[in-house]
Amino acid sequence: MTATRDHRIFGVMADRIVERPLGDLKFGDWIAVQAGQNAVRELVHLPPVTGLNTFRQRSRSGRADVRQAQRPIRVPARLDPNLAWLLGYYVGNGTTRKSGAVRICVPTPKVGLVTGYVKRTFGFTPRACRTGRATDKALHLSLGTQVGKVFRALGLGRKEAAKCRIPDVVLRSTEKVVRAFLSGLWGADGYRPKPAGNKPYLVTVYPRLAEEVAVLIYWIGDYARIHRVDSRKYLPDVPYRVRVQYRVEWHDARHRERDAGGGPARAAEVPLSFHLTPDLRAAGGGQRGWRRGSVPRARLRRFDPGHPLLRDDVYYVRVEAVRKLGRRTVYDAMNEPTHTLSLNGVLAHNCSWGSATASKIHTFSLERLRAEMEWIAAREIAFVYSASANFGQLPRDTEIAGMLADVRRRTGFPKKWFSNTAKNSTSRIYDIFKILHDAGLAKAATLSPQTWDKDTLVTIKRSNIKPKTYQDLQKMFTDAGILTYSEILCGLPGETLDSFCAGIDAEIEMGQHDGITIYPLRVLPGTEMAEPMYRAAHGIVTRRTPILANHADLSASTVGPVEFEESVIATSTMPLQDYRTASLVSWFVQAFFGLGLARFPLLWLKEQHGVPATRFARWCLSHVKVWPAPLASEYHRASAQILEMTGALAVEMPPADWNDLSVFPKIRWPLEEATWLALSLDRDETFRALFRLIYWFCHLAPTTGIRGLGEAIDRNKRELIHWSTDPEYRDPADFAKFRLWYGRRGKSLLRGDP
């Protein structure tokens, strides 16, 4: 295998499968090779064949005429096992002549076998002739130029055949077709030695062919080994040229424990360290060909059936050599939906977007970036969404922000700029957003802790901004008139329901009022969380949920195919019921505190009774029977959505049973925004219901009274912006679109905020 030294693969250390950088491997290390990855279910369609059943003949005048072939052939529409067997035999013992005709060298006992495959595939009987050596042990079967056109369309032309490569169409075929190809290849160039216990093997002088054959064998679930045999050291004095040979052994999956003769199978090797029981240590090395540090799979299963290395789909091979190749062209491989992929059988990681570090960031020159900004402005592109995952992480990002502001002042474009900022925010983030805000480019600044729980941060391998730094930045942004928003993830590994709620309360305590955004945790390809072993370690349970794009138009002309993603619904520290509770708490906090429906009463509860917002939310969720009518209706709607989707916090608005919301745009609103719209239709009834709900809480919980609650409710009602009193957007549809949708993260829905 060839890869960068930092690329991670799965090796074996301390009797466990762990990920390791390729550059750390050395001779004698063990790596995991996964078999049986072929999941193809349909036969591959063959590409069109140009000029089939025709040939060109030059006339006396010199003109080339196209004529029909006297012996037309039929070609299957798909690559079936018969054609695959012929392709394998051709790779092993076939040639293409200058005329384009295909010829196969066949031992006399196999002439009938090969002829039968040709007749079943192409519908004719090939012509047999003697070889040039005039021997009766082999014959040449001529398949003609028309078959040559078919092979050339499949990637086996005259030049390709000289390289002895496996056609790409075989590498995309079903297991049955692949086995037929390998059977044909073994019939031409393979050996099945006696006694039966010995392994079938293939000998070739082409290393690329040996590698690709081994890949096919692993792909269909069997085990392969490649031996490099240098015959020159055995025949040093021969007058003719002796080439290095490569011997590929094929171990059937049926012989994973023992080979056909009852002896130890190499496929059964399991690497183990030396701190073993005496019985296992005796079986580890020195017995019947077993190498030191390995043990038969059957013996290990007898003493430790639950050992993590006992995986039927994984074989273990040793590193024979490590070489530095210098600079090479590499590719970013991405495998969906899992994080692990099998590259030529070797278990490796996707190239990761989410876990990139500073050493992995590739930066373009500032001259190129300035030219792109000028290009954007010249075409009057209003909104630019940067693909940077951590804008502000590098010192030069401040200069980039200045370049953007300069282009905006000179040209008026772009109107807005959005980018994901560095999660561990620093004062550099403030400098950048001050520049963008003064130029009118930025809506709000991101302060995204994701979680405040220290144990969770250790689990997800993140470092977080310090609370004191967070408060200082929050004050700096507020003094400069720049709104901020925080993003928190629900369902992180290691997070509990209590620590999740404590993190939300910490955000509010540190002054974050307008922009608390809570997202359900999603497993993305290319992240460590998508790795099966990581999931097992943290008890991660996911559900395939539809991707609900917020604010998407739901008119019939724009609704497209449904896409899906993996949403986390439970972990070992947050079971399913706790996750549902956390989702409802997220909805409550975002709708009633973040969007301002009950912000002042909730702050009153904290100041007067020391009750944080999430504690009140959890009390409300456990006392649903005391909810007044309009609030209870919204709870049941939200609860039904969360229970149904279990991971998706969005709702299509207005649904069939929400006819009272037909005044708003028919788009998909986030769940908290849908609640805000529904409760804002009758503000008087909503605030009377809020008063009754908090009144019940103060009487049922050990509090000191409700003095000041009425004033907090009245202030919230007075300062909550509503389309009936909004000077800009008096129409409910315009208000919902421009004030709630466009204005969120840019403007508060309350005129005053303590």
* Tens-digit pLDDT profile for residues 709-741: 889 999 888 888 888 777 777 888 888 877 777
Judgement on whether residues 581 and 451 belong to the same structural domain of the protein: yes
Range of the domain at 150: 54-247
Question: Which of 86, 509, 125, 537 is closest to 308 using CA atoms?
Answer: 537
What DSSP designation does 594 have?
Answer: I
Place of tokens 């991660």: 540
- Averaged pLDDT for residues 357-361: 47
The distance in angstroms from the start CA to the end CA of the chain is: 61
pLDDT at residue 142 is higher than 60: yes
According to the model, what pLDDT value does residue 297 have? 74
What does the alpha-carbon distance between residue 86 and residue 282 come to, in Å, rounded to a whole number?
A: 48
* Phi-psi region at 144: left, alpha or beta (left = phi > 0; alpha = psi -120 to 50): left
Give the pLDDT band (50/70/90) at residue 356. very low
According to the model, what pLDDT value does residue 378 have? 92
Q: Which of 266-270, 560-564, 621-625 ranks highest by mean pLDDT?
A: 621-625
- Averaged pLDDT for residues 187-199: 71
Residue 704 and residue 622 in contact, taking contact as beta carbons nearer than 8 Å: no
**Residue 214 covered by a domain:** yes
The residues with which 226 forms a beta bridge, in sequence order, are 248
According to the model, what pLDDT value does residue 342 have? 58
- 3-state SS class at 591: helix
pLDDT at residue 162 is higher than 80: no
Judgement on whether residues 592 and 725 belong to the same structural domain of the protein: yes
pLDDT at residue 291 is higher than 50: no
What CATH code is carried by the domain that includes residue 84?
3.10.28.10
According to the model, what pLDDT value does residue 623 have? 86
Domain finish residue from 349, 380, 415: 349
Per-residue model confidence as pLDDT tens digits over 107-130: 888 888 999 999 999 888 888 887
**Residue 99 covered by a domain:** yes
563 or 350: which leads in pLDDT: 563
According to the model, what pLDDT value does residue 354 have? 45
750 or 600: which leads in pLDDT: 600
Q: How many CA atoms lie within 13 A of 327 on its CB side?
A: 0
Residue 313 and residue 35 in contact, taking contact as beta carbons nearer than 8 Å: yes
- Averaged pLDDT for residues 415-440: 78
Any idea which of 20-34, 289-303, 713-727 has the lowest mean pLDDT? 289-303
pTM of the predicted protein model: 0.53
Domain finish residue from 215, 247, 279: 247
What are the DSSP E strand ranges found in 223-281? 223-229, 245-251, 269-271
pLDDT at residue 614 is higher than 90: yes
**Residue 432 covered by a domain:** no
Q: What angle do CA 453, 454, 456 make, to 5 degrees?
A: 70
**Residue 572 covered by a domain:** yes
Judgement on whether residues 713 and 658 belong to the same structural domain of the protein: yes
- Averaged pLDDT for residues 381-402: 83
539 or 238: which leads in pLDDT: 539
Judgement on whether residues 13 and 145 belong to the same structural domain of the protein: no
pLDDT at residue 18 is higher than 50: yes
pLDDT at residue 261 is higher than 90: no
- Averaged pLDDT for residues 206-220: 85
What is the rounded average pLDDT for all residues in the chain? 77
**Residue 252 covered by a domain:** no
Domain finish residue from 319, 349, 379: 349
Give the pLDDT band (50/70/90) at residue 22. confident
pLDDT-above-90 percentage for the chain: 12
**Residue 387 covered by a domain:** no
pLDDT at residue 410 is higher than 90: yes
Judgement on whether residues 142 and 273 belong to the same structural domain of the protein: no
Judgement on whether residues 167 and 304 belong to the same structural domain of the protein: no
Give the pLDDT band (50/70/90) at residue 452. confident
Judgement on whether residues 631 and 711 belong to the same structural domain of the protein: yes
According to the model, what pLDDT value does residue 182 have? 92
Any idea which of 360-364, 445-449, 664-668, 732-736 has the lowest mean pLDDT? 360-364
**Residue 471 covered by a domain:** yes
DSSP letters, 160-210, are HHHHT---TTGGGS-HHHHHHHHHHHHHHHEE--SSTTSPPEEEES-HHHH
Question: How many structural domains compose the chain?
Answer: 3
Residue 370 makes CB contacts below 8 A (sequence gap 6+) with 403, 407
Q: Provide the total of helices (H) and of strands (E) in the chain, helices listed first.
A: 23, 28
133 or 526: which leads in pLDDT: 526
What does the alpha-carbon distance between residue 535 and residue 281 come to, in Å, rounded to a whole number?
A: 32
pLDDT at residue 659 is higher than 50: no
- H helix intervals, 445-563: 454-459, 467-479, 497-509, 532-538
According to the model, what pLDDT value does residue 281 have? 46
pLDDT at residue 341 is higher than 70: no
649 or 576: which leads in pLDDT: 576
What does the alpha-carbon distance between residue 695 and residue 605 come to, in Å, rounded to a whole number?
A: 11
According to the model, what pLDDT value does residue 276 have? 46
**Residue 430 covered by a domain:** no
Any idea which of 189-198, 314-323, 628-637, 705-714 has the lowest mean pLDDT? 189-198
Question: Which of 40, 26, 38, 32 is closest to 12 using CA atoms?
Answer: 32
Distance from CA of residue 427 to its chain's centroid? Answer: 33
According to the model, what pLDDT value does residue 409 have? 92
Burial class for 121, CB neighbours closer than 10 Å (0-12, 13-18, 19+):
buried
- Averaged pLDDT for residues 550-560: 63
Burial class for 458, CB neighbours closer than 10 Å (0-12, 13-18, 19+):
exposed
pLDDT at residue 387 is higher than 60: yes
Q: What are phi and psi of 251, to 5 degrees?
A: -100, 115
Judgement on whether residues 229 and 273 belong to the same structural domain of the protein: no
Judgement on whether residues 588 and 724 belong to the same structural domain of the protein: yes
pLDDT at residue 70 is higher than 50: yes
Judgement on whether residues 283 and 242 belong to the same structural domain of the protein: no
Angle between helices 576-588 and 629-645 (to 10 degrees): 140
Judgement on whether residues 28 and 61 belong to the same structural domain of the protein: no
Residue 398 and residue 363 in contact, taking contact as beta carbons nearer than 8 Å: no
According to the model, what pLDDT value does residue 400 have? 92
Per-residue model confidence as pLDDT tens digits over 94-104: 888 887 888 88
Any idea which of 88-97, 175-184, 643-652 has the lowest mean pLDDT? 643-652
According to the model, what pLDDT value does residue 479 have? 81
Give the pLDDT band (50/70/90) at residue 319. confident
According to the model, what pLDDT value does residue 566 have? 86
Give the pLDDT band (50/70/90) at residue 501. very high
Give the pLDDT band (50/70/90) at residue 656. very low
Judgement on whether residues 234 and 278 belong to the same structural domain of the protein: no
Any idea which of 51-65, 252-266, 688-702 has the lowest mean pLDDT? 252-266
- Averaged pLDDT for residues 194-200: 62
